[in-house]
Structure 1
Amino acid sequence: MGLRLVLVTGRTLEQAAGMHKGKCSEEYRAAVSRGEIAPENLAALSLAEGGAALLRTEHGTAEVRLFSAELPAGLLFLPLGPFANALVGDATEGTGMPSFKGIPVEVEPL
């Protein structure tokens, strides 16, 4: 059973530290594949902390690990990086930068 949530992306300290070790490092990969959702959303997916999930938007899919965080129910946070990029479209509305916030996302446990 899946959930429909709203995806927002952004920077994290772990993502930045991993990037300095190299984008091929395990630290970077772990940091950018870590999604955060409200505890009640994690429970609704029947996932334990760090459980694997498939994220799907109209632009693509990504497999990430999910953790509970102090977020509003219905919101999913994912650090910027290759996993987030797979979910974000390329339309820029003339700004030169795609939208990294407010993207509808389907979340299914793996």
Structure 2
Amino acid sequence: MKAKLILVVSMVLACVPGNARATCGVTRASYAALQMLMAYSDVVKTLGCEGEHIFDRKDDPSMVSYEYMWDGAAPRSSVSLVFGNGKLMSMSQYNLD
């Protein structure tokens, strides 16, 4: 349920005019190279640029979550990644070629 909510929020944010995201052009191949529990810095190296910070979530003092988004290489495509305590915990993509 939480993953679906994050995906819906991500898709809504992707449609907001003027909402700037990282534009290194994520491809399906670079997305496929991501691995769960990767550090944010390793994700940046894999994708080629830093993501646009979307929001923080601090439901539990021991877990801080951050969501970042990147534009895809294909028109109207995007990638959304959620990190928990600095490690990749959730991945979603929309319309990557």
Q: Please give the TM-score of this superposition, normalised by the length of structure 1.
A: 0.26
- The structure whose Rg is larger is 1
TM-score with structure 2 setting the length? 0.28
